[in-house]
Amino acid sequence: MARKIFSGTKTEEEPPDSDCRTLSFAHRIPAMAARTRAAFYLGPVVHELSMLPKLGATRIAALKASGVHSVEDLVRRAPLRWIDRTKLKRIGDLREGDDAVVRAQVVSGNLVPGRRPRLVVRVEDGTGSLELVFFHYAQSWARKLSRGTNWIVSGRVGFFRGPQIVHPELEEVDPGAPWTGEILPVYPVSERMHEARIEQRLLRNLVSAALGLGSLRLPERFPESLRNELGWLPELENLRRLHRPKSMDEVRDARRQLCMGEILPVAIRMARRRELMERRGRALTGGRETLERLRKTLPFSLTGGQENALSEILSSLEAKRQSHTLLQGDVGSGKTAVAFLACGAAAGAGVQCAFMAPTELLVWQHFRKLEPKFREAGIRAELLCGSTPGSKRTEILRGLASGEIRILFGTHALLSADVAFADLGFCVIDEQHRFGVGQRAALLAKGKDPDLLALSATPIPRSLTMTLYGDLRAVVVSEKPQGRKPIRTRVVPEEKRAGLLEWLDGEFAKGNRAYWVVPRIDDDETSELRSLEALEREIRRARPSWKIAVANGRMPEEEKKRSLDGFAAGEFSLLLATTVIEVGVDVPEAGVMVIEGADRFGLAQLHQLRGRVGRGTRDSWCFLLLGESGRAAVDRLNGFASTEDGFAIAELDLEQRGAGNLEGLAQSGATKFVWIDFARDRDLVEQTVSYASAKLRNWDALPEDQREAFAKWFSEDLLEARGNQ
């Protein structure tokens, strides 16, 4: 028997829009503000928030906490989405398969128990009755969807003894709203705003009042001739169209202009960089013989993908221009070998090389593997890190200045001012997304227009590459070495933990090795450490015979290296670690990755972690452990488990979390974009980039005001100084 749940009246304490994020997703045009937390600050506060009605100190404080400091900021804060009431249908007219929007009143609601318990709500609009079915729902929905409330309901119509929508999108119709237009904006409401009782209705009111201020002006950032050429409206007018649209076409058009306006300056600047690099730099030739000697030291032959990438890099080294290349390739595709040979070619051509990686552990691992090979070929390579002893450091600096040291590996330590090369001509940056743009520039500045090879294991969606790395030429390593078997990925619920330990007993007996990684729970490193220590105690208690090594970020470098070294050599079968081993670590003999609290990681990060295994020819496994709190993430993780394609995962991550939150990209300035949605606006990005290139090609024919504006963009700190200008 179904249980009646509705009291029949709506509780007043429950503000109507408190759950709007989970309840309603009508017309979600790429959500800018959702993830951008704040309007961007562009100028001094001209109109104080206190000028608007119904704003007291508490509410103002809540708005400011969300980055809204002035009336101007409020107006620049975009709606999350819109509810289009212009296309309402009557329930009586619904047909199976329709994508429908109806306006209806709740008449009953029931919790139906059974194998798949569900919430069933019946609504009517006078022409018929429609059933809304929820298999997933929050308890509070039952209360919100109480009898007599009115909703705009949308979704795909099915038929089962009458029309039905499973998991419809819902928006409560708010009869008292001042904005009576047919397209309603819905704004992001932060927790803090919610507590201050700033809800949709109030926000609509506030924006109305703001737009009504006769003195409101926004500074125009684009030259007039450009606006005319593109048919752009003033920014304020575009914002008005977002807040008070007459049609969804208006919304789309306004958004398009704002997006393009946001990336155009970056695109112009990148186009300028490419142009300058054409004119700078030198040809690094004569290194192929050295390269061939080094190639013989590799225990494998390159894959076709590696060969192609290498030959592209070689021809750009040899060309008489500065070349900056972004070498993209999925985790484990063998980018290191390509970079190694490219260094050989550059060293053979007579210049010095720098090889920089983000962690000491990683660069040490590279150095340990590659230095003997360079030595065999008569090339001196050294390693410089924070932990390098003073005397060794002095010796290295001397060798570097004299030109004796041809290749210098290192961490950020390479960037310190007293590290001076005789003639730095080629820089490799491994895991480039871990470095800030300023750091990249600082390394390049140590040479005279050196070539750059940036390695990226976090596959970056193309739209972002074109914008943020628009001055780098992308080269992709398209395949993995032969013989790699798929990594089998499984989501493991808490109750199967014991089973996992038993399974590992068997694997270790067969000589397999495993990583076990813990997440960071709060923002600080301490939580990571705490969970690592707890896990270590637990496992040692359960399995006293296991040979366990531990690695975390707080350990002295020497100890970390000893753990990794011992693990690589097979002295230990289990390496318990924090995310210090996330990138780059390469122990091909390890075939198992266990990730504790997997729901706490972004997909890109999981992909990186999983990429530590599947590097040899053995069977590989990745286990995603979920704590109680992680159940909600099962779908997301199953999605991850079903693919090993890093680019697909990066796109998925981009869609789920937005560019600003993508691993490492925050450093590249991705967070500075408010309007553009890199997951959905690919075409727009491409168009803008080619528009920018065309502009620069026709420089002489450009109107004066455009030339002036562009020249300003060349030097403006749009995304922090990047590259060597």
Q: Point out which residues bind ligand ADP (CB under 6 A).
A: 300, 302-303, 306, 329, 331-337, 457, 481, 586, 588, 615
The listed partner (ligand ADP, Mg ion, none) that binds 185, CB under 5 to 8 Å by sort, is none
Query: What is d(CA 355, CA 364) in angstroms, rounded to the nearest whole number?
Result: 11
The listed partner (ligand ADP, Mg ion, none) that binds 365, CB under 5 to 8 Å by sort, is none
Strand 381-384 and strand 407-410: pairing? parallel
Site string for Mg ion, 555-594 (x = CB under 5 A): -----------------------------x----------
Query: What is d(CA 704, CA 701) in angstroms, rounded to the nearest whole number?
Result: 9
Reported residue count of the chain is 725
The listed partner (ligand ADP, Mg ion, none) that binds 432, CB under 5 to 8 Å by sort, is none
410 vs 584, beta carbon nearer Mg ion: 584
81 vs 615, beta carbon nearer ligand ADP: 615
The listed partner (Mg ion, ligand ADP, none) that binds 575, CB under 5 to 8 Å by sort, is none
Q: How far is the CB of 364 from ligand ADP (least distance, A)?
A: 14
The listed partner (ligand ADP, Mg ion, none) that binds 519, CB under 5 to 8 Å by sort, is none
The listed partner (ligand ADP, Mg ion, none) that binds 493, CB under 5 to 8 Å by sort, is none
Angle at 71 between CA 69 and CA 76, to 5 degrees: 90
The listed partner (ligand ADP, Mg ion, none) that binds 329, CB under 5 to 8 Å by sort, is ligand ADP
Query: What is d(CA 112, CA 127) in angstroms, rounded to the nearest whole number?
Result: 26
- Measure Cα distances from 441 to 139, 319, 432, 438, 449 in Å: 53, 22, 12, 5, 11
Nearest to 158 by CA among 184, 132, 135: 132
Contact call for residues 623 and 500 (beta carbons, < 8 A) = yes
The listed partner (ligand ADP, Mg ion, none) that binds 333, CB under 5 to 8 Å by sort, is ligand ADP
Nearest to 649 by CA among 613, 612, 605: 605
R_g (Cα) of the chain, nearest Å: 29
281 vs 332, beta carbon nearer Mg ion: 332
154 vs 432, beta carbon nearer ligand ADP: 432
Q: How far is the CB of 475 from ligand ADP (least distance, A)?
A: 13
Q: How far is the CB of 428 from ligand ADP (least distance, A)?
A: 12
Nearest to 460 by CA among 318, 221, 623, 650: 650
Nearest residue to ligand ADP on Cβ basis: 334
160 vs 300, beta carbon nearer Mg ion: 300
Task: List the structure tokens of 206.
Answer: 């506030």
189 vs 337, beta carbon nearer ligand ADP: 337
155 vs 584, beta carbon nearer Mg ion: 584
Interface with Mg ion: number of residues (CB under 5 A): 1
The listed partner (ligand ADP, Mg ion, none) that binds 331, CB under 5 to 8 Å by sort, is ligand ADP
Q: Which residues pair with 119 in a beta bridge?
A: 111, 134
> Is residue 491 classed exposed, middle or buried when 0-12, 13-18 and 19+ CB atoms within 10 A define those classes?
buried
Q: How far is the CB of 441 from ligand ADP (least distance, A)?
A: 23
The listed partner (ligand ADP, Mg ion, none) that binds 324, CB under 5 to 8 Å by sort, is none
The listed partner (Mg ion, ligand ADP, none) that binds 154, CB under 5 to 8 Å by sort, is none
Q: How far is the CB of 614 from ligand ADP (least distance, A)?
A: 9
State the residue for tokens 């022409």: 127
Q: How far is the CB of 342 from ligand ADP (least distance, A)?
A: 13
Q: How far is the CB of 331 from ligand ADP (least distance, A)?
A: 5
Q: How far is the CB of 440 from Mg ion (least distance, A)?
A: 17
The listed partner (ligand ADP, Mg ion, none) that binds 302, CB under 5 to 8 Å by sort, is ligand ADP
Q: Which residues pair with 166 in a beta bridge?
A: 133
The listed partner (Mg ion, ligand ADP, none) that binds 610, CB under 5 to 8 Å by sort, is none
281 vs 584, beta carbon nearer Mg ion: 584
79 vs 481, beta carbon nearer ligand ADP: 481
Q: How far is the CB of 584 from Mg ion (least distance, A)?
A: 4
Contact call for residues 533 and 552 (beta carbons, < 8 A) = no
Q: How far is the CB of 351 from Mg ion (least distance, A)?
A: 23
Query: What is d(CA 577, CA 405) in angstroms, rounded to the nearest whole number?
Result: 34
Query: What is d(CA 137, CA 544) in angstroms, rounded to the nearest whole number?
Result: 44
Q: Cβ neighbours of residue 229 under 8 Å, at least 6 residues apart?
A: none
Q: How far is the CB of 117 from Mg ion (least distance, A)?
A: 47
Q: How far is the CB of 585 from Mg ion (least distance, A)?
A: 9
Backbone angles phi, psi at 136, to 5 degrees: -115, 130
Backbone angles phi, psi at 644, to 5 degrees: -115, 5
Nearest to 679 by CA among 703, 666, 702, 660: 660
49 vs 302, beta carbon nearer ligand ADP: 302
Q: How far is CA 520 from the centre of its chain?
A: 18
State the residue for tokens 């491409």: 686
Q: How far is the CB of 376 from Mg ion (least distance, A)?
A: 22
b/e map 7-35, b = 16+ CB within 10 Å = eeebeeeebbbebbeebbbbbebbbbbbb
> Is residue 160 classed exposed, middle or buried when 0-12, 13-18 and 19+ CB atoms within 10 A define those classes?
exposed
Establish if 168 lies at the interface with Mg ion (CB under 5 A).
no
388 vs 432, beta carbon nearer ligand ADP: 432
Q: How far is the CB of 387 from ligand ADP (least distance, A)?
A: 23
Q: How far is the CB of 601 from ligand ADP (least distance, A)?
A: 18
106 vs 331, beta carbon nearer ligand ADP: 331
Task: List the structure tokens of 310.
Answer: 């290498």
222 vs 355, beta carbon nearer Mg ion: 355
Query: What is d(CA 83, CA 261) in angstroms, rounded to the nearest whole number?
Result: 25
> Could you tell me the sign of the dihedral formed by the alpha carbons of 583, 585, 587, 593, in that order?
negative
State the residue for tokens 């179904």: 2
287 vs 481, beta carbon nearer ligand ADP: 481
- Measure Cα distances from 595 to 8, 387, 434, 577 in Å: 47, 30, 21, 10
Distance spanning both ends of the chain, measured CA to CA: 73
The listed partner (Mg ion, ligand ADP, none) that binds 612, CB under 5 to 8 Å by sort, is none
The listed partner (Mg ion, ligand ADP, none) that binds 300, CB under 5 to 8 Å by sort, is ligand ADP
DSSP characters for 169-223? EEEE--TT-S--SSEEEE----HHHHHTT--HHHHHHHHHHHHH-TT------S-
235 vs 644, beta carbon nearer Mg ion: 644
Task: List the structure tokens of 373.
Answer: 């090979």
Residues at the site binding Mg ion, with contacts judged by CB under 5 A: 584
